[in-house]
Amino acid sequence: MPIEKKTLTVFSLTLILLVLLAGGVIISLTNGSWEISSSRVIDILLAQCGLGGKSSPVEIAIIWDGRLPRVLTAALVGFSLAVAGAVMQGIFKNPMASPGVIGISSGAALGAVLAIYLGLAAIFPQALPIMAIAGALATLITVYLIATSAGRTSIATLLLAGIALNLILGAVTSFVITLSTKEFDIGRVIVTWLMGDLNNRLWLHVRIVAVTSVTALVLIFSYVRELNILMLGEEGAANLGVEVGRVRNILLLAASIMTGGAIAVAGVIGFIGLVAPHMVRAAVGPDNRRLIPLAGLLGAIFLVYADLFVRLYIPVDLKVGVLTSLLGGPFFIWQIVRYRNRFEYM
């Protein structure tokens, strides 16, 4: 029985993405101010896992305590943002929907900034992801309520509400930054974090984003079939037995958890949730069983290599969130131009 061409495409793309991700991780672990060969890196990892291998305390500190948590955090954050974007684009049937566009990222950012400003993050590290997720959920609920009338959600209103809330939440965040300038260290942490930063990531950050990613991913794949049906239209999905409101709310909750967890550990990283799903959809189609994991892999690759670039090739301390925005902004403009004929004009 011949293998379908699309199956071959999915298999090939998966293999390519896995190789690229593995390559990025290896380059990140071996390169830096102290270069360590790949064979030494393997020895260190084996030694830390109790599987033999030799290592020195200095190399352990560099690889196991420094570079590995940073690259794993980058991969998990990129994965989370891309998956959240893919889910939202599927729910709203709009290629321009993403956590950043509809305001969820801004809500998560405000929650995390408040945790830093109030000193809760220093006392209780888990306060940062909790407040980031709470901010994302509160923003999602607000946007959803604004855009929904008589049980129907207007996509245009949703995007406009997201833009409005982005402005409001950005203003509140700026006000908190202004207050924090009286405490220089707190203000510096907040500003650095808002630019999207992967410096000095620890195993604590890996655990936080891993928990939110796995939890949300289980929810998403529990309803991935319903998400595919929902993309055909709400009325058609309801006729096929899908509880539209319940499924949509659960999927949006999962996307908010992923976004909040990612922003809590890496700050504001823009446009990955918009770019990665769109590129993968062009290659494998809209089936979310394929799209979501592959978009997640591409998002992980994008952020791992972006972090590698700013760490090794930029002489100044450029934050990775700045680079992703510089790359993603033109892509968003291209998307607007491409789909402008679908918009309604007065």
Element (H, E) at 280: helix 272-284
Q: Is residue 175 part of a domain?
A: yes
DSSP for 68-89, written as a single string? HHHHHHHHHHHHHHHHHHHHHH
Q: What is the pLDDT at residue 300?
A: 96
Q: Is residue 133 part of a domain?
A: yes
Tally of helices (H runs) and strands (E runs) in the chain: 16, 2
Report the CATH number at residue 308.
1.10.3470.10
| Phi and psi at residue 153, to the nearest 5° | -105, 125
Question: What digits encode the pLDDT tens for the residues 85-108?
Answer: 999 888 888 777 778 777 888 898
| Residue 291: how many other CB atoms lie within 10 Å | 26
Q: What is the pLDDT at residue 141?
A: 85
- Spatial CA neighbour of 81 closest among 264, 270, 279: 270
Q: What is the pLDDT at residue 71?
A: 95
Q: Cα–Cα distance between 344 and 346 in angstroms, integer?
A: 7
Please state the separation of Cα 227 from the chain's center in Å: 19
Q: Is residue 173 part of a domain?
A: yes
Q: Is residue 305 part of a domain?
A: yes
Q: Cα–Cα distance between 277 and 298 in angstroms, integer?
A: 8
Q: What is the pLDDT at residue 254?
A: 93
DSSP for 204-223, written as a single string? HHHHHHHHHHHHHHHHHHHS
Q: Is residue 266 part of a domain?
A: yes
The answer to whether residues 111 and 132 touch, using CB atoms and an 8 Å cutoff, is yes
Q: Is residue 260 part of a domain?
A: yes
3-state helix, strand, coil in the chain (%, to 5): 75, 0, 20
Q: How far is CA 239 from CA 92, 93, 229, 242, in A?
A: 18, 18, 10, 7
Indicate whether this model's pTM tops 0.85.
yes
Q: What is the pLDDT at residue 1?
A: 40
Q: What is the pLDDT at residue 344?
A: 46
Segments in the chain below pLDDT 50: 1, 343-346
Tell me the residue range of the domain where 228 lies. 67-342
Q: What's the number of domains the chain is made of?
A: 1
- Spatial CA neighbour of 108 closest among 82, 129, 83: 129
Which residues, other chains included, contact 289 with Cβ-Cβ below 8 Å and sequence gap of 6+?
224, 225, 228
Q: Is residue 85 part of a domain?
A: yes
